[in-house]
Chain A
Amino acid sequence: MIGTLTADSAIHVRDVSRDFQAGQETIRVLHDINLDIRSGQLTYLVGESGSGKTTLISIIAGILWPTEGEIHVFEQNIYDLTDTQLVGFRLANIGFIFQQYNLIPTIDAAANAAVPLLARGMKLKEAREQAREMLDRLNIADQADKLPSQLSGGQQQRVAIARALVHEPRLVVCDEPTAALDARSGRRVMDLLREVAVAEGRSVIIVTHDNRIFDLADRILVLEDGRITHDGTTMPQEG
C-alpha cells in the first residue's frame, strides 16, 4: 500500500472506494485509497484523465459520497454529517478553486470574492470590504470593481483564489488551477497560492497534470486507474 499514514494529519482517507454506475455496469474508479495530508503542505494529485483524481478530490472536499471508507477532515468524519451539516462544514473549512473559475459573470470581482462571506450571512458592505483586503493581498485590488469579463484569465483566477481564501478555510482544493493559463501566469498563480494559502498553515490539494508546475509541490501523489501509484516530493522517473 502506497501512502503516508501519520497521526498528525489534517486529512485522513481510509479505505476509500467509489463506484459509478454506467448503465447496468458498475465501474470502480477508486480502489481502497489510504492517504494522510498534513497542514501547511501543497499536495498535488496527478494522473491521466479517468485516473480518479477528480473523484478523490471531490470526496475529500465533501461534495461526493464515497461508496466505501471514511474521510476525516480536521478530525471530523465528514460523511457522518447530515447534508445540511456537511454544507455548513464546507462553508466553514474548505475553499474551492475551479478550473473554469466559475465566477458569477454579472457581479464585480469584489462581490465574487465575497460570496462565501455572504453565504455565511455577512452584510454586503462588510463582506465586500473583507474581500477587497483579500484581493489586495493577491495584488488585484485595483480590479475589484470590474466584472469577470473585463479581467484577464490570470486575474480571474486570482479572484477565484480570493473567493477560496476570504473566509479563511483550513483546506483549499483546486481543480487544474493553471490549465487555462499560460506558463508565466500559471507559475504566478501557484506562487500566490503557496504564499497566501500554504504559508498560513492550510492544507492545499491541487488536481493537475500541468508538468510546468510540478517543481512547486511539497508532495506529489500519482493516481493510475483509481490507485495511488506514487507518493513523493517529485514525479517518478520515466521507465
Chain B
Amino acid sequence: MNWIAIRMLTGDRQKFLGLVFGIAFSTLLICQQMTILVNLVQRGANAVYNEYTADVWVMDNVTRTPEVNYAMPATALDAVRSVPGVEWAVPHLRSAASVRSSEGNLEGVAIVGVDDTTLIGLPHTMLIGDADSLAKPDAVIIDDVGAGKMFGEGVNPVGERLELNDRRAIIRGVVDATPTFTSQVFLYTRYSRALTYVPGTRNRMSFVLARAAPGVTPDELAARINEQTEWKARTRDEFAQDGIDFVIENTGIPYNFGITVMLGFIVGVAIVGLTFNLFIRDNIKQFGALKAIGVTNRKIAGMVATQAALVGSVGYAFGILGSVLFIYWFEQAGPNFKGFYSPWQIPIICVIPVIIILGLSGWLGLRSVMNTEPAEVFR
C-alpha cells in the first residue's frame, strides 16, 4: 500500500512539488538563519580564539569580554607570575582608538598590544609580511578583513602610514584573523608601543595572558589565580563562552533570528498544511473507496505517514543543500562573512521543525480521511 501512497503523491506533480517546496523553503529559512545566528554569536569568542597560546586570561573582576574590559595596574602581571603553576604570563592590551589614514579619513580601530618579546597575542598566520617586522619603528600589523575595509579588497596595505593618538604607525604586515562580533579593524603592535597609541589613563593593561606549567590543567591554574590574586582568571574556553554569552544577553540578535526561524516554521505549516490538506481532499473519494474495500485505518495512516516521510525527506534534503550553498556563497562573497560555516548540529536540529510541520499537516489530513465514512463513496 505504501507504493500506492507514493504514486498517489508523486503522480500529482503540482501538489508534490508544492509540498517539497514548502518543506525545502522552511528548512532553508530555519537552517540558514540558525547558521547565521550561530556564526554571528560565535564571533563573540573569536578574539579569544585568535590568540592561540594562552591557557588562561586574567582580568579585572568587572571585565566581561575581550572588547568590554577594564584596565588593570601593571602590578597584576607580577601577581599572576607569582602563582605556582604559571609557566609564563605576558601583558596584553586591547583598546579602542581612532586612526587617521594618509588621506585624512578617520576610522575607529581596535589596538591590540602583544608581548614585546614573544609576540604572544598576535594571531598565528601572517598573510603578508613577517611578525618580526613589529620590531621596526612605528610598526603595526593589520588584520586581513580590516585591511580590506580600510584600503579596499586586494590592495596591499604594507607601507601605509596612519596617525594614532598623534603618533605615526606604519603597516608592516597583514595577519589572518577571524573577524570579531564588532567587525572592527584590528591593529596589532608591541605592548610598549600600544601604550603610546591609546589615550593615556592610569592603568592600561587589559589582560594578563598566562600558560599553565606542565602537569597543571588550565582549570587548576585559573582556580589558583582566582584564589591567590585579586584578579579574575578565566580559561580560554570559559572566556570565549563569556564573549558568546555577552552577545546573546546584550543584543537583540537571538530575538531577530528567532522571529525569522518562527516565520519559517509558520510559512512551512501554512504551505505544507494547506497543500497536503488539498491533496487529501482531492483524493478523499479514493481513500473512502480504499476504506470500503477493506483497507484498515492503520494502513491508511501508514500511507499518509509514507507520503509525509517522502515529502519531508526530499524537501529537507533540498532545504539543507540550499542552506549549505547559501552559507558557502556568503563565505565566498566577502570578508564580512569570513569563517562562516555550517555546524553539523543545525541540520539535525532542523529535523525537529520539519517533523512537527509534517506531523501537523499529516494529522490534519489524516483526520479528514479517518472521518470519511466508507459509505460516502456510494453517495
Contacts and interface: CB of A to CB of B under 8 A. Distances in A.
A105 B11 contact: yes
How many B residues are at the interface, by size bracket? 20 to 34
B288 A116 contact: no
Interface string B295-314: 11101000000000000000
B378 A106 contact: no
A181 B377 CA distance: 19
Given A87-B294, A98-B378, A119-B293, A106 B373 contact: no
A98 B375 CA distance: 11
A84 B11 contact: no
A175 B378 contact: yes
Contacts of A64: 373, 375
A78 interface: no
Contacts of A103: 286
B377 A102 contact: yes
Contacts of B378: 54, 57-58, 63, 98-99, 175, 207
A230 B295 CA distance: 35
B136 interface: no
Given A58-B375, A58-B378, A119-B1, A106 B7 contact: yes
B377 A98 contact: yes
Nearest to A164: B293
A116 B4 CA distance: 12
A224 B289 CA distance: 27
A120 to B, nearest CB: 8
Which of B4, B8, B296 has the most A CB atoms < 10 Å from its CB?
B4
A175 B294 CA distance: 17
A5 interface: no
A224 B319 CA distance: 60
Interface of A: 54, 57-58, 61, 63-64, 84, 87-92, 94, 96, 98-100, 102-107, 111, 115-116, 118-119, 124, 163, 175, 207
B379 interface: yes
Interface of B: 1, 3-4, 7-8, 10-12, 283, 285-286, 288-297, 299, 373-375, 377-379
Contact of B293 (A107, A116, A175): A116
B373 A107 contact: no
B377 to A, nearest CB: 6
A99 B289 CA distance: 11
Contacts of A104: 4, 7-8, 283, 286
Contact of A90 (B1, B7, B294): B294
A96 B286 CA distance: 13
A63 B374 contact: yes
Contact of B299 (A89, A119, A163, A207): A119
Given A102-B288, A118-B1, A175-B377, 15 more contacts: A54-B379, A61-B292, A63-B291, A64-B373, A88-B294, A90-B294, A96-B292, A96-B377, A98-B377, A102-B285, A104-B4, A105-B286, A111-B4, A115-B290, A175-B378
Given A107-B7, A107-B11, A116 B294 contact: yes
In the A-B complex, the 6 residue pairs with the closest CB atoms = A106-B11, A91-B294, A102-B289, A63-B374, A64-B375, A90-B294
A96 B289 contact: yes
B289 A118 contact: no
Contacts of A99: 378
A87 to B, nearest CB: 5
Contacts of B375: 58, 63-64
Contacts of A58: 375, 378
Given A54-B379, A57-B378, A63-B375, A106 B296 contact: no
A108 B283 CA distance: 16
Contact of B286 (A89, A90, A94, A102): A102
A115 B3 CA distance: 11
29 contacts: A54-B378, A58-B378, A63-B291, A63-B373, A63-B374, A63-B378, A64-B375, A84-B296, A87-B295, A88-B294, A90-B294, A91-B295, A92-B294, A98-B289, A98-B377, A99-B378, A100-B285, A104-B4, A106-B7, A106-B12, A107-B4, A107-B8, A107-B11, A111-B4, A115-B4, A115-B295, A116-B294, A119-B293, A175-B377
A64 B288 CA distance: 13
A132 to B, nearest CB: 16
